[in-house]
Amino acid sequence: MGRKVFLAAVCFCLRWVSALASAAAEAENNFAGIESKFSLRTPAEPNEDVCYLIPGQVNSLAQCNFNHTSKTFVVIHGWTVTGMYESWVPKLVDALYKREPDSNVIVVDWLIRAQQHYPVSAAYTKLVGKDVATFIDWMEEEFNYPLNNVHLLGYSLGAHAAGIAGSLTKKKVNRITGLDPAGPTFEYADAVTRLSPDDADFVDVLHTYTRGSPDRSIGIQKPVGHIDIYPNGGGFQPGCNFGEALRLIAEKGLADMDQLVKCSHERSIHLFIDSLLYEEKPSMAYRCNTKEAFEKGLCLSCRKNRCNNLGYKVNRVRTKRNTKMYLKTRAQMPYKGRSYLLITEQDWYLCSAVFLGECVLQVTILLLWCLLVGRSEVYLQFGIKCKLKCRLRRPVPSYSRYGGGRSNTKREVFCNKLLSSKIKIYSVAWSLGTTGLSMFFQYFFIQMIFFSYYEENNQQSSA
C-alpha cells in the first residue's frame, strides 16, 4: 500500500515538473521570435542604452529599476538610412522625463529591420508591432501592469508599428501618438495594417509633411486618429523652405542632405517636444474641413470642442468620425505663434507675414482707425495673415439706423455696418522681383494706402 502511494506521488511530481517545463518552453518559444530590443532610458543618460528589458526575463525589470506604479512611454523610431538612432530620440526622451520625472521611457530598437529598402522596412512594421504587443502583454500578465499607463509614440513607420501593436494587445493601451505617420504603402492600406483610431483608447496624430499626390506623400495625408492635426496645413513647415535648405547646404555641404529632406517630416517630433517643455505656451489647433477654409479665417472658434491643444496635453475628444484640425506655428521653439490675420467684411486679406513692412503699416492704420471709430478691440494672432474684428468696448451711439440704443447685442452689427458702408480703402500695390541661380524671390514691395472716412448722417450723429 505504502509503495503504491509513493509511486503515485512520484508520478504526480514528474507530471508537475513536466508541465512546468512545457510551460517554460512554450513561454520561451513565444519570446524567441522577438528581434526588437526594449531599452529603458534614464534621465541621467537619455542618449544611452544603459539597460534592456527582456520579455520573459522577470529579473530584467528589477535590474533596470522599472517603476511599476508610473506611466510608461514607448518610443518607436522610423525608417533609417544610417542604421543609427536619429538625434531627436534623446531629445524626446529627455523632454518626457522633464515632464514626467517618475515615468518609464522605453525606446524600441528595430534598427536592423529599419535600415532595409523602404518597402522592406515598411513590411517589417507588422513584426515590430507584434514584438511590442508581446512585450506589453507580458508586462500586463506577469506584473498586472495597468495598460491605462501605457502611451505609445511612433514616428513615421514607427507610428504604424505602434498602431499594429495596439491592435494586437489583449487589452487596449491608453494612448497612441502618431508623429507624421509614413505615407508610402500606407495611404490606401487597410486599417489593420496601419495606425487607426481602433488601436488605442485615444489616438492623436500630427501631420507635418503631406505634400504631393497621396501615394507619394512622405507623411500620410488621410486622417488616421481620433484627432488629426495638420500644422501649417501639413505642408512645408516654417524654417524648412527651399531657401533655408540652400543656405544650410552652402554652410555645411551635402553631408546633412537627409536632414534637409526630412525637416518637415521630423517637425512633428519637435512640435510634440515643444508641448512637453513649454507647458505654459500650448499651441492651439482649430477644427476645420479644409486648410483653405482655415487660411481664410473661417474656423477660429473654440465653441463645441472646435479647438484643442497640440501635443501632450491634447483634450481627449472622441467623435464618430476623424477630426481634422489646423494651426499656424513659428519656425523654431517655442512654436506657439500669434497670427496677424486681417479680415474686413469683404474678406480683404491685406497683410502677409512675408511683407512685414506692409503688414506693420496696414495694421497700424487700421488699428488706429478702429480704435478711433468704434473704440473696439483688435485680436491679433501671430502667423501668416491677420484678422481684424471690431468689437465695441462701450455702448454704441444711439443710431436708429444701426439698431440704436445702448444695447450690447447690436455692437457687432453696428461695427460691420461701419466697415461696409462708411470706410473706403484704396490700395495700389506694386512689387519688384529678383532672380537667383536656383530660385526666385519676391522680396520688395511698396503699397500706398489712402482711406477716407465720412459720415452719411453727420447731423444725426452730432445730435
CB 87 within 8 A of CB 266: no
Residue 406 and residue 395: Cα distance in Å, rounded? Answer: 5
Q: Are strands 104-109 and 200-206 parallel, antiparallel or unpaired?
A: unpaired
- 129: which DSSP letter? H
CB 168 within 8 A of CB 207: no
Q: Strands, E, within 147-219: which ranges?
A: 150-155, 173-179, 200-206
Q: Which of 156, 264, 268, 339 is catalytic?
A: 156
Compute how many other C-beta atoms are within 10 angstroms of the C-beta atom of residue 35.
13
Tell the residue number behind the cell numbers 463645441, with chain if given.
304
Give the distance from CA 1 to its chain's centroid.
75
In degrees, rounded to 5, the angle at the alpha carbon of residue 426 between the alpha carbons of residues 420 and 427 is: 125
3-state secondary structure of 429: strand
Does the annotation count 228 as an active-site position?
no
Cell matching residue 63 = 535590474
Sequence-separated (6 or more) residues with CB below 8 Å from residue 366: 342, 350, 378, 388
Q: What is the CB-side half-sphere exposure of residue 165 using CA atoms within 13 A?
A: 36
Does the annotation count 201 as an active-site position?
no
338 closest CA partner among 383, 295, 392:
383
Strand order in the sheet with 323-327: 52-53, 37-41, 104-109, 72-76, 150-155, 173-179, 200-206, 227-231, 323-327, 284-287, 307-309
CB 445 within 8 A of CB 430: yes
Residue 342 and residue 366: Cα distance in Å, rounded? Answer: 9
Residue 429 and residue 7: Cα distance in Å, rounded? Answer: 104
Residue 113 and residue 109: Cα distance in Å, rounded? Answer: 9
CB 308 within 8 A of CB 284: yes
453 closest CA partner among 385, 361, 368, 394:
368
Sign for the pseudo-dihedral over CA of 237, 239, 245, 246: positive
Q: Which of 94, 137, 180, 228 is catalytic?
A: 180
Does the annotation count 265 as an active-site position?
yes
Side chain identity at residue 57, one-letter code: Q
Q: Which of 265, 270, 275, 376 is catalytic?
A: 265
Residue 244 and residue 250: Cα distance in Å, rounded? Answer: 10
Side chain identity at residue 178, one-letter code: G
Annotated catalytic sites, by residue? 156, 180, 265
